[in-house]
Amino acid sequence: MRISNEKMGIAMKRVMMKVAYEGTAYCGWQVQPNGLSVEEVLNTALSELLGEDIKVIGASRTDAGVHARGNIAVFDTEASIPGDKISFALNQRLPDDIVIQGSREVAADFHPRHCESEKTYEYRILNTTFNDPIRRNFTHFYYVPLDVSLMREGASYLVGEHDFSSFCAPKTQVNSFVRNIIAIDIFKEEEEIVIRIKGNGFLYNMVRIIAGTLIEVGRGMIEPAGVKAILEAKDRTKAGPTAPARGLTLMNIELI
């Protein structure tokens, strides 16, 4: 597919894209001095495609190894190519592990991190005796049998608006540790335990620390009611470990 790079005197427009990627090979979303990021790959491919210096703004700056089915990125361009055609043209220039799922023009002042949104993450635990090579990059293999009903009971204390200091990586600088978890669903899909969390904002490593804590609950090391005590302690050292990145996928960002 040939795309014309000629400027046709058209004014600047802002384009929003839905971005899916396997995070295994990347140092995360955000540009880093050491390692290739998803953001950098998008900037390079878009700049080549559109003949401009493009810098995308991501809604969620996912960590190294974390996957996305629906992250959001926006960028500004003067190019004449219609916003909804950019996904198809850009996919021709992207590596196999990043695929744009759609694109469209949005308001010039739309910013994906300064708007109301609901994010849904899934954390997948492969709870079997042996790892599955086909799912190894997309699930956290954990061979100690976990009790899903205990995990559900523990998770119930996290739903709602709380100070999540205990579930945030140390030294994170934010104005407030209060976040609102709208729902946590925990269910089994064959041998996988899926923790689906929906909220309107998450602290650094929050979903992975929740997953790591609920695994401790599921194996009987923490009582379900202990999750309430951990929350109230506002102390990261009281919660469980940060579960590995590979089990985490940003499923969807709903703009509200």
Active-site positions? 63
- Name the burial class of residue 175, with classes exposed (0-12), middle (13-18) and buried (19+) by CB atoms within 10 angstroms of its CB: exposed
**30 vs 12: CA distance, rounded Å:** 24
Q: With respect to a copy of itself, which residue has the nearer C-beta, 21 or 29?
A: 21
Q: With respect to a copy of itself, which residue has the nearer C-beta, 20 or 74?
A: 20
Question: Which of 51, 102, 201, 244 lies at the binding interface for a copy of itself (CB under 8 A)?
Answer: 102
**169 vs 243: CA distance, rounded Å:** 12
Q: With respect to a copy of itself, which residue has the nearer C-beta, 126 or 181?
A: 126
Query: Six-digit token pair at 80?
Result: 């004449």
Q: With respect to a copy of itself, which residue has the nearer C-beta, 88 or 204?
A: 88
Q: With respect to a copy of itself, which residue has the nearer C-beta, 3 or 250?
A: 250
Under rule CB under 8 A, residue 251 binds a copy of itself: no
Contacting a copy of itself within 157-216 (CB under 8 A): none
Tell me the pairing of strands 192-199 and 98-106. Answer: unpaired
Question: Which of 17, 22, 158, 217 lies at the binding interface for a copy of itself (CB under 8 A)?
Answer: 22
**81 vs 96: CA distance, rounded Å:** 23
E strand segments, the chain:
13-21, 57-58, 67-77, 98-106, 117-126, 140-141, 160-163, 178-189, 192-199, 248-255
Contacting a copy of itself within 31-90 (CB under 8 A): 67, 69, 87
**233 vs 165: CA distance, rounded Å:** 8
Three-state SS at 32: coil
Query: Minimum distance from CB of 164 to a copy of itself (Å)?
Result: 27
* Cα pseudo-dihedral 25, 64, 255, 94, rounded to 10: -20
Under rule CB under 8 A, residue 123 binds a copy of itself: no
Under rule CB under 8 A, residue 26 binds a copy of itself: no
Whether 90 contacts 99, CB under 8 Å: no
Under rule CB under 8 A, residue 1 binds a copy of itself: no
Query: Minimum distance from CB of 13 to a copy of itself (Å)?
Result: 22
Question: Residues binding a copy of itself: what is the number (CB under 8 A)?
Answer: 23
Query: Minimum distance from CB of 40 to a copy of itself (Å)?
Result: 16
With CB under 8 A as the contact rule, which of the stretches 45-53, 75-83, 132-140, 212-220 interacts with a copy of itself? 132-140
Question: Which of 97, 105, 118, 223 lies at the binding interface for a copy of itself (CB under 8 A)?
Answer: 97
Q: With respect to a copy of itself, which residue has the nearer C-beta, 102 or 244?
A: 102
Instruction: Give the CA radius of gyration of the chain.
Output: 20
**161 vs 242: CA distance, rounded Å:** 21
Dihedral sign computed on CA atoms, order 48, 49, 55, 56: negative
Residues that bind a copy of itself (CB under 8 A): 20-22, 67, 69, 87, 91, 96-102, 129-134, 136, 138, 249
